[in-house]
Structure formats: C-alpha cells, structure tokens
Amino acid sequence: MGISVHKVIVKVLVILAILTTAVLTVRAVFNYTMGRKLEAALRDAKADGFPLSGFDMTPACAETDNGASLWKAAEALIVLPKHQERTASVKAIESLFGGSPIDPKSRKLLSDWVAKNRKVIELIDEASSMVCFRYDTPERPLFAKAYPDPIKLLQAARLLAIQALLKADETTWQEGLAGCRQGMRFFKNLADADASVLIMGLTAVADLKMLVAGFNRIVQGRDMDTADLVSLMKEFDAGAWRNKFARFIRVERVFGLEWGLARIAGDPEVLEARSFPGRAWERGRDWLIRPLLKWEVRRNFKMSLEIDKLLLLPYHEQREAYDQLVAHRGSVPWHIRPFGIMSMDHRPVFMKEATLEAMMLTTKAGLACKIYRNMNGRYPDHLEALVPSILDEVPLDPFTGKPLVYRFAGDEVLVYSVGSNGRDDGGRETYQTTQLVMEKDDDRAWREKAR
Amino acid sequence: MKERMDPEIERILKTVAPAPAPIGLRERILRGIPAGRRTRSLTTPLVRFVLIGCSAFLVLVLVMDALIGKIQKDRIQALVGYTAQHSESLALPLPGEEFFDSWPERLWIDRMSLLAYGKAPRRTWHDIRNMKALREEYDGN
C-alpha cells in the first residue's frame, strides 16, 4: 500500500514537472513572439509618424505663456458650492437646458457663490488668452502626470455659465457673452494641453455644452448688431473643434501605450506609484500573463491606429465605420477576459462629441438666421437661403449627414439636430445623455421667438 | 564424462555437512526487499532523466526568457523614448486614489464603458462603488 502511494506521488510530480516545463516553454515562446510583434507594430507606427510617448505630444510652452499656471491658482482658490448652492447650481444648469427661469432664492445663492469665486473667474479669463496649457513636467509618462481636477473644471464651467447669465440679466448682455466666450476658449484650449487625455476631453465637452447652453440663453430673443453676430459665429466652428477633440483620443492612445508598456516592464517603482499591482502575487500573475499583456497592448494600439482614420469623419459615418471596425477586429475573446484584458469602446465618446458639435452647429445656424433677419427683416424660409451670403454651406446634422431641421413652430423659430436616435422629436431635448441612442427627446435645438 | 564423475561427486557431497545459515539472515534479507523495491522504483533511470532534463530545460527557458525579455524591453523603450521614472520624481504630487475618487460617477462610468468591452477588473469595483456615494454630491454634472 505504502509503495503504491509513493509511486503515484512520484508519477504526479514527474507529470507536473513536465507540464510546468511545457507551459513555461510555451509562455516563453509566446512572450518572445508577442514581444517581436509589439516591437514591429511600434516601429511601423513610428515610421508612419505616430507619436509613441507623452513627451512627443507635450507642447513647447514657456512659463509666461502657460495657462495652466493660472488654472492651478484657480484650482487652489475655487470655492466649491455648499449643499444649498450646489442644489441651486444644478437647478440653474437644468433651467439653462430646459429654458425655465431661475427663481429669486436660487439666484441669490448663486450670486453669492459667484462673488466668492470672483478671483477664480478672473484667473480663468486670463488663462483663456494664454497660448499653451502645460500642467506637468514633460518628462513624466502620461499615466504618472498630474491632471487638472475634473470636478473643479466642471464647477468652473458651471460658475462661468451662471455668472454670464447673471451678468446678462443684471448688467449688460455683452458682459455675459464675453464671460461665455472666454470660458469656451479656455475649455477648447484644454485639447492642446500636455494632459489632454480622454477624460479631460469628456470634461471639456461637458463644460462647453454648459457654456453653449448659457450662451444660447443670452442670445436667443435678443436684438443684436450684425457685426456682433458675425463675430460670435466664429466661436462655433464645429469642424475646428472636431480637429481639436481628435487630439484627446490621440493622447489617450499614447496614455494606453505608456501604461501598457510600464505594466509589461513590471517596473515596481512605476507601478506601485499607482498602487498597481500592489501585491506580490499580482506581480507574479503579471509576469505569467506578460505575453497576453503584450498581445493586449499591441491589439489596442493597432486598433487605435485604425480609429485614428475615423476621428475627423462626421459622426454618422464615424459610427458606421467604427462598428465595422469592431466587427472586423472582434471584441476581446472570452478566454482572455479573466486576465483583466480590456479594450476601449469609443462609441460613447464619439456620441458625446457629436452632441456638442450639434449644439455648436445649431447655434451657428441660429446666429446666421438672426443675421438674415437683420438684413431682410424676417427669418429665412429655409437654411439654403443663408448660403453663401452668411454661411459657406448649409450646416449638416452630424447624426444624419442631412441638413439641420429648420422650421417654425407656433411663435418660435427652431434649428435643430435630431440627435442620437436620428428621429425628429420636434426640437425637444434632454439635459442628460445616458445612452448611446436615446429613446426620445434628444434633439439639440436653437430656438427663439419669431417676432 | 558426466556419467563417470557422478558417483564420486555423490560420495564427496555426502561427506560434507551443510553449514547452518547465519542467524537472522533470512529476516534481514526479507526486510530489505520492500526498501529495495521502493528505491528502485523512485530512481529509475527514466525518471531521473526526465526530472533532471526538465529542470535543466526549465532553467534554460527562464534564463533565455529573462534575457530576451530584457533585450526586447530595452529596444521598445528606446523606440518609444520611455524610461522608467525614479521614485524621487514620482514622489511629486501625483493624482492618487483621491483624485479618481473625486470624479463624478457619470464620468467614471463613461471611463469604465470606454475602457471595458467586457469585464472590468476586480480592482476597479471599489471605484465604482465610491462613485455611487459621490453621485448625490455631484448629481447633475
């Protein structure tokens, strides 16, 4: 009996030794081949001119031209709203999108909040005219860089929009609009920052949407000079913004690459700085799955190079091309997922960016309609009437590729995009976008009384 | 020849008294048999060859893997211009956990949906839970 047990143990040990050797040999071969493929992919990308490090994407920026220095001061000074102010500010933003007035009690709370942050607003105004925005030292990899606090950016945008509305009501609309324009410039400039990763891009989109909504509230229904309107139209170049926004996705690609390579390298100093992987067994696991990590990094990187070709397409083409690309490439196989292998889904990003573009285009078309009315004493019968004297071309809805919807409804004139569902919801819009394709009321409209 | 010798041999053999077996020899031999069997079965030449071969090959594979991995890593780092940061520079203010904790839930969920087609790694779960707590605070962002 004792002899047979020992025999079994020895046999098991021998089999284990053979299996371990086989597995580790296969791992080593896979590690080598994946490393070669990753290296080749990076070499090809470099030859094609794609930047491979955050350092390559960091703008040259003299300290005297650096808007980030002023923003850092604003970050330190900003007073975030207290509970009551926060509730009031949320309601105010909702009213911006919903078109309802701000009640007097909320107005008082918001005025106080704006007053506390007067210096912050001044700093942002000043930063918006700076030529560059470099938040951290260029040598540091993107994943280890310091970033502007997105909460404070969002609160700053809210502050600027509210301040603009209050000024427009209490002093002059010109002052209100000036605040909105400065804010829009500031947030657009984030695209050129050293830290313009995707989360910053999404923050900038949210901030700009707030400011565009505030801008619309001030402009709609107000008589304005043609020269002023022409000047204001320049702020709403959706194509230029799409170009800028593409940079966020490109920087994110480099972020993912740097992060992936650091994880592959298993450099404990770098990884521990982000508390990942913190424990020894996690490091051991990372060593074991290193070939898979290389596979992941290469796959994501190559995918992002394919996506690069879609960045400047209008959303309706972008969405289709992206779906085809994903279908062609396939999602992460099920047997890889337990290792925490991830892949990016760009669809929500493209959709959010397209929503902002739609807002910019409708605002621009709305301003053009106001110019037409100044020139002809009435609103145009259709958007084609604005071309070529006021607009170069009829603005196309990013969600459909067709001209924006333009119509009169009761005593209102509306210009709107049909939004993600591609369906005409009569210009009704929603404040929060929570799905890739909203079921209803996700039009993006510019409207005013047709007097 | 055999037939001629047989009677003589028989006669001589009859004069020889057989020596008695040493006391305990039989027991000692019988006792040693299982141990011998066991030793023989554990260390057959084939097993020894497999174990030594596997060990040597494994060491070779691991050493080669480490060496090639290092070479590849250096080449990739040279290609991307990335160099690992030292702890001194990383000790500067970095966006730590609290940075991510302060993100509004919607942004984080966006981030999750951006990053994960499939299953989010377990380590991110606590971030999502924290975000839920922050939802009330930053509702509407």
Q: What is the pLDDT of residue B140?
A: 42
C-alpha distance from residue A250 to each of A198, A322, B46 (Å):
9, 16, 58
C-alpha count within 13 angstroms, C-beta hemisphere, residue A230: 11
Q: What is the pLDDT of residue A427?
A: 80
**Selected residue of B65, B86, B135 to mutate for chain A interface (largest A Cβ count, 10 A):** B65
Say which residues have a Cβ less than 8 Å from residue A163's Cβ, sequence separation at least 6: A114, A121, A176, A179
Which uninterrupted H or E stretch holds A280?
A: helix A280-288
> Do the beta carbons of residue A238 and residue A360 sit within 8 Å?
yes
Complex-level ipTM: 0.75
Q: Which of A177, A200, A219 is the last residue of a domain?
A: A219
Domains in chain A, number? 2
The reply to whether A403 falls in a domain is: no
Name the pLDDT band for B107 (thresholds 50, 70, 90): very low
Return the ∠ at Cα A377 (arms to A372 and A380), rounded to 5°: 45
The reply to whether B133 falls in a domain is: yes
Q: Are residues A33 and A153 in the same domain?
A: no
Q: Which two three-digit tokens encode residue B113?
A: 């949906």
Tokens 């040999």 correspond to what residue? A25
Determine the distance in angstroms separating the CA of B7 from the nearest CA of chain A, rounded to an integer. Answer: 50
The reply to whether A229 falls in a domain is: no
Q: Out of A225-239, A285-299, B31-45, B85-99, which region has the weakest mean confidence (pLDDT)?
A: B85-99
Say which residues have a Cβ less than 8 Å from residue A46's Cβ, sequence separation at least 6: A52, B79, B80
Angstrom distance (rounded) from CA A348 to CA A20:
43
Q: What is the pLDDT of residue A396?
A: 95
Q: What is the pLDDT of residue A109?
A: 83
**Selected residue of A270, A335, A347, A353 to mutate for chain B interface (largest B Cβ count, 10 A):** A270
Q: Are residues A109 and A182 in the same domain?
A: yes
**Selected residue of A337, A435, A436 to mutate for chain B interface (largest B Cβ count, 10 A):** A337
The reply to whether B35 falls in a domain is: yes
The reply to whether B111 falls in a domain is: yes
Determine the distance in angstroms separating the CA of B26 from the nearest CA of chain A, rounded to an integer. Answer: 22
**Is any Cβ of chain A less than 8 angstroms from the Cβ of B116?**
yes
Q: Are residues A262 and A322 in the same domain?
A: yes
Q: Which of A74, A157, A120 is nearest to B104 (CA)?
A: A157
Write out chain B residues lying below 8 Å of A267, CB-based.
Answer: 84
Domain of residue B126: give its range: 97-137
Q: Are residues A207 and A109 in the same domain?
A: yes
Q: pLDDT exceeding 70 applies to what percent of chain B?
A: 48
What confidence tens digit (pLDDT) does each residue in A155-209 have?
899 899 989 988 888 888 899 999 999 999 999 988 888 878 888 898 999 899 9
Angstrom distance (rounded) from CA B100 to CA A259:
16
Sign of CA dihedral A232, A233, A238, A240: negative
Q: Which of A292, A327, A349 is the last residue of a domain?
A: A349
> DSSP code of A103?
P
Contact B103 A343 (CB under 8 A): no
Determine the distance in angstroms separating the CA of B20 from the nearest CA of chain A, rounded to an integer. Answer: 34
Contact B119 A337 (CB under 8 A): yes
- A80 class by beta-carbon count within 10 Å (0-12 exposed, 13-18 middle, 19+ buried): middle
Angstrom distance (rounded) from CA A219 to CA A215:
6
Beta-strand ranges (E) seen in A309-401 are none
In degrees rounded to 5, what are phi and psi of residue A447? -145, 150
Q: Which two three-digit tokens encode residue A253?
A: 């690609």
- A30 class by beta-carbon count within 10 Å (0-12 exposed, 13-18 middle, 19+ buried): middle
Residue of chain B nearest A154, judged by CA positions: B141
Q: Are residues A120 and A152 in the same domain?
A: yes
Write out chain B residues lying below 8 Å of A274, CB-based.
Answer: 94
Q: Are residues A163 and A259 in the same domain?
A: no
Contact B80 A42 (CB under 8 A): yes
Angstrom distance (rounded) from CA A397 to CA A395:
7
**Selected residue of A5, A11, A25 to mutate for chain B interface (largest B Cβ count, 10 A):** A25
**Is any Cβ of chain A less than 8 angstroms from the Cβ of B63?**
no
In degrees rounded to 5, what are phi and psi of residue B85? -80, 155
The reply to whether B101 falls in a domain is: yes
The reply to whether B74 falls in a domain is: yes
Size of interface A-B (CB pairs under 8 A): 182
The reply to whether A360 falls in a domain is: no
Domains in chain B, number? 2
Contact A273 B90 (CB under 8 A): yes
The reply to whether A226 falls in a domain is: no
The reply to whether B92 falls in a domain is: no
> Do the beta carbons of residue A142 and residue B82 sit within 8 Å?
no
Angstrom distance (rounded) from CA B90 to CA A365:
49
Q: Shortest CB distance from A265 goes to which of B64, B84, B107?
A: B84
DSSP A133-146: ---S-TTS-GGGS-
Q: Shortest CB distance from A144 goes to which of B34, B68, B90?
A: B90
Q: Which two three-digit tokens encode residue A122?
A: 């001044």
Q: Are residues A48 and A183 in the same domain?
A: no
Contact B38 A340 (CB under 8 A): no
Structure pTM? 0.78
Mean pLDDT by 10 residues, chain A (451 residues): 72 90 94 95 93 84 86 88 76 69 80 89 92 84 82 90 88 89 92 86 91 91 92 92 93 88 73 56 82 89 92 94 85 63 77 93 96 94 94 94 93 92 82 71 85 66
Contact B81 A53 (CB under 8 A): yes
Residue of chain B nearest A352, judged by CA positions: B110
Q: Are residues A201 and A266 in the same domain?
A: no
**Is any Cβ of chain A less than 8 angstroms from the Cβ of B37?**
yes
Q: Are residues A167 and A84 in the same domain?
A: yes
Secondary structure (3-state) at A408: strand
Domain of residue A109: give its range: 58-219
Cβ count within 10 A of residue A42: 21
Q: Are residues A204 and A100 in the same domain?
A: yes
Crossing angle, helix A290-308 and helix A280-288, to 10 degrees?
70
Q: Which of A437, A433, A435, A417 is nearest to A425 (CA)?
A: A417
